[in-house]
Structure 1
Amino acid sequence: MSYKISLCSTISTLCLILFISFNLEAQTKRLKRPKSSVGVSSVDNFVRESFDLYDKVYKYDGYAAAGTPLDDNDIDVLEDALVELTALSENAPNIVSDLDGVGVLKQGKATLQINKAKKALAYSTKTAKELLLGEREHQNKKDDESDANEGNSNNNESTDKKDDNKTSTTPEQVSNVSDNLEVLSKFDFVPGDKLLFFDDFSRDFVGDFPSKWNTNASGEVVKVNGENWFELKPGYGIFFIPDVKDLPEDYSIEFDILTQGVGKNTSSTARLHVILSDNLKFDEGQEHYAQVSLPFGQYGVFNIRAYNFFNGGAGDINSQVKADIRDEVLNQPHISISVTKKRYRLWVNEVKYLDIPRFIQEDKVLNHIKFHINNFKDGEERLFIKNLKVAEGGVDLRRKLMADGKISTNGILFDSGSAKIKKQSYGIIRQISQVLMQDESMALKIVGHTDSDGDDSSNLKLSQARANSVKQALVDVYKINGDRLTTDGKGEAEPVADNSSNEGKSQNRRVEFIRQ
């Protein structure tokens, strides 16, 4: 009997110590990571990655509870975590389908672990956003007051129920977090600032092969919903080559994709290849090339592939990166590629899937861009591209703005005839916000410019509205004081290039930032 009393007393003391220690670390009861795996790789990976991110965010939540301010490195870690949380959350519904055919007991265990991982993701997403906005400490005080009103119960079951309520965000809500501009604030693609090539096919006749391209087969400009798109034709050894020559060391490539007829029966090998090549012939390259291919199959998750070939032999990279972009390729995605000397990065919409430090193994040998598609069913599954833009990069807009007091960029894009900012433009706006955060005394004038399409008065109003949209993004997304920002619109009155060409129009559609 005395042994039982002593044991109970010891357990009670340990529980009290653990409870006190826990409350010193953070205000929210910690979710426990599952101790054993399920044996289904997709589930085990999802649970592990969810709790890895959860542990990271939970640590910073503990700092906030203790009143410790976050430094710049902490903020960067949390911003990166938000991007990872978004991608992981969007994969959650697909993981459930992986349980088909699994035994009942294993399926039950997997379901419990998936649900627990979703709770961890919901907490992590909500908390990371609050921490970045400086709201978490205030929220923890509210939680304390709420706990006090409910009697500060230490019962584990009661605490678990309260945690369930706090993290009851539905999977649908979590999967939509990528639509929140706070998440987009981490999108770090910045296009080159000197335009080298642009083609939206608006000056080509429907039915013709585009005038600024070459091929060894066929393709044509088609009209889709009133806009010209270039349809690529599938086949063996077929290449589509834009008139791009002598690529510099630092540059960006952007284009939009549209598909038709892609569905569950689309082959797992249906791919778009984007190739950086050493020649203008109809092959990948003679001595040097680097290529990345995007998957379009819909019945499963297929990888983005990266492969390089230098000095006549296989290079160091032959990789397959897991990327569920099935929904993206059906919904007109924007592809962004950044090459900075040897480094190669690729984004689909706002998500970065590749960041390879030494993908370009030899300097100044890859001078041309080629496209190739394969295994699309002819006449049934179609792929179109539009708005191919190649621009020389290398200028850090933050340093240029601080040094010169003025920058002009055509990398902030808007919907046609609209002041709605395209999501892929937030990398530049983020850089502007960083300058304003660095120098809190700085005030900026934001000036919008348009090309000459349309009448003068409409363009003047549109340019003003676009400048206002950029200001609003800085205020709403990056929390810049609006009193530091003024706006103006010049319409088409101050062109920097010839409005008779697509390239010139692209340069004239720009936004200026001028230090006041």
Structure 2
Amino acid sequence: MNFTKIILAFCVILIISPTLNAQTKKIKRPKNRVGVTSVDNFVQESFDLYDKVYKYDGYAASGQSLDDDDIDVLEEALDEMSSLSESAPDILNDLDGVGVLKQGKATLQMNKAKKALKYSIKTAKELLLGQRERKTENEDNNSKSDEDLDDEVSNIENNNDDTIKNANTNVSDGLEVYSKYDFVPGDKPIFFDDFTNDFIGDLPSKWNTNGSGNIVKFNKVEDNWFELKAGYRLFAIPDINQLPEDYTIEFDLLTSGLSNQTSSGTRLFIILSDANTFTQGESSYVSISIPLGQYAPFDIDAYNFFDNQNGMINSGLSADIRDEIKNQPHIAISVTKKRYRLWVNEVKYVDIPRFIEKLNILNYLKFHVYGLADGEERVFIKNVKVAEGGIDLRRKLMSEGKISTNGILFNSGSANIQPQSLGIVRQISQVLMQDNSIKLNIVGHTDSDGPDDSNLKLSKDRAEAVKNALVSIYNISSDRLTTNGKGETEPVADNGTADGKAQNRRVEFIKI
């Protein structure tokens, strides 16, 4: 037996004891391939090596000594990992010319693979040298490094330079995971704000606040964003003065600067209130708070308060959403009379049947951020949409033979379906599955922004994208679906306002 290996094995044995902390939580291997060969190979090889090292780290954590063969495997893996790590920058060059959805998916998977490699190299060296220092699960289990995040959402500028442009991509890229997503947005718009009509640096025109907040633009993230300022009893309130019994709320969330140092009390509160005041409410309100801390998984908190008394709900709902919080999640809320549901991306985390104890008194929506480190940690929102709901699109399509919805969203100027729109597509698929004789014509409509001919083509492409989603994700026969586009020629609302444009961007399903 090689003397060096004996020494290494002896060192490994010395550092192992039953009192060691538990092994760090395993990083999940991506389920789906990106479709870029170099990226897919890098991710696969990284996680193959990661699985080896993680196994031997588990042996050490449980008190099992490593033998000669184990050490040989670790030495070989270390050489391979070092070589693989050096190839990562070159692989990123292969993303040039690839569609934006595929770029985003590839970047996320590369970052996860690099994180796995970083853990593997460090752990393999420590195991071989007998110097394995165990961190807690929370210290090791971060979704991205600060450098990754800073590269993604830094450099706020007052112009459009270097903004990522949309490109044609495979319609099913990134959508499969949303195939069982059951959120369906309301069908009658109440409020919509994408901040496109606001000036950079100003407070958005359709909002009020008792502190501050401003519109910003990033050089690597699309569109205008509203920065929510944190503070004690500091609220941002959209211009809504009446909410029905059944409605939905949606918005995109972006964070910057969050890290292991972010306070455990750092949260985004979404409040439904009985008063248009800079308080939670006069006598009644409900509040859901989304945790922003990164060093541990924190609960989503739910609390209700009615008639100046604590309500029945004061609960913490388990949710490890640290990865989502740092990767621009879509938040969706559905209020159906007393029932309250909340989704983060495709996952439903809140479903409380009697959260709204009294109907028709909570008419105001408020946002409140608390606990951010000033100048370091930041929170932004965009595409805030509130819409009246209550209509089951499946029943309406079956009874009336036609439905129109603006709940299927696309990336600006493109036919790329936003994944959170699949709740509606899923309902359409259920109608088609229930009755095999039904055939549908899918018709796309746009707002008036852009040239007429471009909008006509875009509307046709969007209708075709919906058809492709029904075929590729829900296995509907393409023979049962036809498509058409009307461009901007059949508006249903005023194209001079953001609300009107949102209503005009719609998709119709017509039985044929």
Q: Percent identity?
A: 64
1:340-355 alignment, distance < 5 Å: 340-355=336-351
Q: Distance in 1 between matches of 2:425 and 2:306?
A: 37
Q: Distance in 1 between matches of 2:423 and 2:324?
A: 20
**Cα deviation, residue 408, structure 1:** 0.2
1:123-202 alignment, distance < 5 Å: 181-202=175-196
Matching residue of 1:386: 382
Q: Distance in 2 between matches of 1:201 and 1:292?
A: 24
SS at 2:290 equivalent: strand
SS at 1:467 equivalent: helix
Q: Distance in 2 between matches of 1:364 and 1:328?
A: 33
**Cα deviation, residue 319, structure 1:** 1.0
Matching residue of 1:413: 409
Q: Distance in 2 between matches of 1:398 and 1:266?
A: 44
Letter in 2 for 1:215: T
Q: Distance in 1 between matches of 2:255 and 2:454?
A: 33
- Please say if 1:229 is aligned against 2:225: yes
- Please say if 1:423 is aligned against 2:419: yes
Letter in 2 for 1:104: S
SS at 1:354 equivalent: strand
The question of whether the paired residues in 1 share the 8 Å contact of 2:177 and 2:346 is answered with: no
**Cα deviation, residue 418, structure 1:** 1.0
Q: Distance in 2 between matches of 1:357 and 1:42?
A: 38
**Cα deviation, residue 104, structure 1:** 3.4
Offset from partner CA, 1:18-64 (integer Å, 9 cap, x none)? xxxxxxxxxxxxxxxxxxxx999999x99xxxxxxxxxxxxxxxxxx
Q: Distance in 1 between matches of 2:371 and 2:191?
A: 29
Matching residue of 2:319: 323
- Please say if 1:216 is aligned against 2:210: yes
Letter in 2 for 1:246: Q
Q: Distance in 2 between matches of 1:349 and 1:184?
A: 8
Q: How many residues align?
A: 361
1:479/1:265 CA distance change after superposition, 3 Å: same
1:2-401 alignment, distance < 5 Å: 104-105=62-63, 181-225=175-219, 227-401=223-397
Unpaired segments of 5 or more residues in structure 1? 1-37, 47-92, 109-177
Task: Find 2:448's aligned residue among 452, 456, 464.
Answer: 452
- Please say if 1:438 is aligned against 2:438: no
Letter in 2 for 1:293: S
Q: Distance in 1 between matches of 2:398 and 2:499?
A: 28
Matching residue of 2:473: 477
Larger C-alpha radius of gyration, 1 or 2?
1
Offset from partner CA, 1:208-236 (integer Å, 9 cap, x none)? 11111111111111122362111111111
**Cα deviation, residue 374, structure 1:** 0.6
Q: Distance in 2 between matches of 1:42 and 1:105?
A: 11
Q: TM-score, normalised by structure 1?
A: 0.66
1:107/1:335 CA distance change after superposition, 3 Å: farther
* Larger helix proportion of the pair: 1
Q: Distance in 2 between matches of 1:425 and 1:258?
A: 19
Letter in 1 for 2:385: K
SS at 1:506 equivalent: helix
**Cα deviation, residue 206, structure 1:** 1.2
Q: Distance in 1 between matches of 2:258 and 2:329?
A: 14
SS at 2:507 equivalent: strand
Offset from partner CA, 1:370-391 (integer Å, 9 cap, x none)? 0000110111111111110000
Matching residue of 1:487: 483
Q: TM-score, normalised by structure 2?
A: 0.67
**Cα deviation, residue 322, structure 1:** 1.4
Letter in 2 for 1:302: F
Q: Distance in 2 between matches of 1:441 and 1:240?
A: 50
Letter in 1 for 2:478: G
SS at 1:472 equivalent: helix
